[in-house]
Amino acid sequence: MSTSAPVSVAVEARAASKIFSRGKPNQVVALESINLSVRQGGFVALIGPSGCGKSTLLRLMAGLVPATEGEIFVNGKAADQARRDRDYGMAFQSASLFDWRTVTRNIELPLELLGWSKDQRSKRSAEMLDLVQLSDFGDHYPNQLSGGMQQRVAIARALSFKPSILLMDEPFGALDEMTREHMQAELLRIWEDTQTSVVFVTHSIPEAVFLAQRVIVMSPRPGRIVADIDVDLGPRGFGTREDPEFFNKITEVREALRAVEVP
């Protein structure tokens, strides 16, 4: 078996499975032979009902949990090696900011762990604050920010050390609809500015279609890929959400999801 993947591929899963409590009465097959390849600079959304293993797949890609069978490659390396090389940044549904650090120091946390000098860190965090449009809030503590602002800090932190890949697990799931649409536009702008590859887990169909170039639809128990839908809507803008093609794609994803629903 080959042990590497072409470098133009950001993330690749080869027949990856994840079984929890294997061989025990409470054994759960969370993922079953997942094959997926995300090209560099691509934006892929993973969507499916709760329990379909989409978050587990993301954790596999992050090297936070090992695959039971098969292999996961990130930038051509085993996922765990990529984690140790800091090849990706990660953002979660809860912003998971550190209450005890100011916004600036939250963004600088990964840089501190990487041993960057104080000057380099300040320069970089100022750039990142600018990127997420929070330059006036560097000295604030997270509990002084709104949910949307906290999530922007989390994205700035995930991108601060210039990883080539961004793994996001329902990052806007806890936000209200208006903040959410605003954040989606922000994320696309950042994605275009930074040329980062993004894998984005969501359970919102319009969110997946609006953001991604490819929507991967998953089925629950065991988690499998049941559809791989290309979304070609061009550069997104205000008009996109009213574009008939946008609705066509939403319908296509919805039908793919309906086919896997457990009655």
Partner 1 sequence: MTNHARLRAIAPPLVVGVGGLALWELVLTVLNPKAFVLPRPSVIAGKVVEQWSTIITATTNTGFIAVTGLIAGALLGIMVAILVSRFQIVSEAVTPLAVAVNAIPIIALAPIFNFWFGLRSPRSNQGIVVLLVFFPVFVNSVRGLTEVHRGQLDLMESFAASTWETLKEVRIPNALPYLFTSLKIASSLAVIAAIVAEYFGGDQAALGQLIVQQAALSRYSSAWAGVLAGTLMGMALYLVVVGLERWFMPWRVTEIERSGS
Kindly list the residues in this chain that would bind partner 1 in the complex (CB under 8 A): 59, 62, 64, 83-86, 88-90, 92-94, 96, 98-101, 109-110, 113, 141-144, 167
Minimum distance of partner 1 from residue 84's CB (angstroms): 5
Backbone angles phi, psi at 187, to 5 degrees: -60, -40
Minimum distance of partner 1 from residue 241's CB (angstroms): 30
With respect to partner 1, which residue has the nearer C-beta, 203 or 254?
A: 203
With respect to partner 1, which residue has the nearer C-beta, 110 or 148?
A: 110
**Residue 254 CB neighbours (<10 A):** 14
With respect to partner 1, which residue has the nearer C-beta, 69 or 85?
A: 85
With respect to partner 1, which residue has the nearer C-beta, 87 or 207?
A: 87
Minimum distance of partner 1 from residue 113's CB (angstroms): 5
**Residue 154 CB neighbours (<10 A):** 25
With respect to partner 1, which residue has the nearer C-beta, 108 or 207?
A: 108
Minimum distance of partner 1 from residue 153's CB (angstroms): 12
Minimum distance of partner 1 from residue 152's CB (angstroms): 16
